Structure 1
Amino acid sequence: ARKIEDLSKQRDKLPITRYDCNGVLKIAIVINSKTADIQLYHDLIHDRPERISVNQEIRNFIGDRLHQTPAEIFSQLEINNPNLTQKQCHYWWTILIKKQYQKDLDQLKSNKTNALNFELYAVIGQIDGAGFAAAYLFLDNAKKDEGVRTEILTAFLTNLKKLGLQFINYFLTDKDWSQINAAKIVWSNCKIQLCLWHAKK
């Protein structure tokens, strides 16, 4: 295809400056001794490639459009910011959107709740490559059999469905039958997938 002649409408990104430095990086790994021999050759010292930072104006632009996906925001920004990358846009979208749901810098952990026979269940969704916590459930697991846990988890997931989680295509979980059965009851058409790490245990 022919390139458009109007330079103002061309969206080519400026190429990185290259130098005739004959730079070579060699890495030899020795399995038996668990060591690596690293050799770096460079014939001349040159400037480091310039990395274009994301200014405050672009950050504000992203922050005002958090209801859109990073790809949609990037398509609007790249017209006037040819050096901006999609990864930069996605990074700042992830950072800025955290402020809408992160209430505290301390992450919620369950490592001290097991002494009280509590289990922590978390529902995590994925949107455009980023994970978001939708809900948490602390469950007093003392003397509760699988049927009781399934009933409680079913009620928990049913409330999430009523709040808008209507169409779930995949449900990733461990080998806990209470979770699997509850998910199939609430979202009968979803595909249950097991976590590879748990499956290997």
Structure 2
Amino acid sequence: SFDCDGWIHITLDDRCGTEARVKYTHREDHILYCCIDIPADMRERVLNGMDKTSTQLWNEILHDYPNPVFTRKAVYALWSRHHSQQYRLHEDELKSAQKFLEDAKRGYSVEPISLELPSGFDAIAFALPKILRRWSGRLREISLNSAWQTNGSRFELYAALTEAYRSGLPIGFLLIRSNDGEKHGKEKLISQFLQHIRTNWKISPKFTLSDKDYLEIHAMREQFPEAKHQLCYWHAARAVKTRLLVLRRAPAPYNVVQARKEFPDLDPNFVPVGQSIVLLVRFVCRLCSYRKQKMNLI
């Protein structure tokens, strides 16, 4: 604010109906506003330097003009707006990405994957043929990793990863956005994505890995039923640690029939320690002994 001795007085009177008396006072002028627009010569300099990053351009500007009236944010906005025109091929970001992949396909750097979209879903997927062409015959494991909130368009990112000579290799990416989509729609898209990689590149992994997301687990099991599926060690350790931190909550009774329906290889004679008949007998004996001692004291 400025010490301009400025006031606005508004007087209302019921007798005047809808009329109001306004008195405005302003005694001192404000200081002049400084123009912070990027000058024409600086705009031309930024537009001619699109091969550089915005940071490099800003450092060059500071070298020649140590105290510019415009801000770094303004330079970045100008640079970003014109730089995006190099790869933005359509106003719709999804169509722009699809066109971008089709153009990149000519250079054999990416392979767009055709997906049958369930109702209420948007998705785009592609594989990396250069890596797959070189390593597909040697891949023994595939992992599926996901990330959320990585972009402003609400697309969830899924990456198919593998390993060769102890180095991680990305072999494909899938982006999914759901707008109240149908049930199991996301699982269908993940399954189509993995099916393309499996059939087009003849991959037969011995191990598949994912986190604890059931959608990823089911899609992996559907496309690679012969592979052994493992959970991410970090997620498994975190789940166990979280469960151990819960105190005073008895586990559910073990039901051997229900357990063997899901895992037929389980030993039908297995009994958890907490439900063992031996422990039950010991508990009853100790209870009887305690009551007997109490009666003797009385």
Same fold (TM over 0.5): no
Question: Could you say which structure has the larger radius of gyration?
Answer: 2
Q: If the TM-score is normalised by the length of the shorter chain, which range does it land in? A: 0.3 to 0.5
**Structure 2 length as normaliser, TM-score?**
0.29
Structure richer in helix, relative to its length: 2
For normalisation by structure 1, the TM-score amounts to 0.42
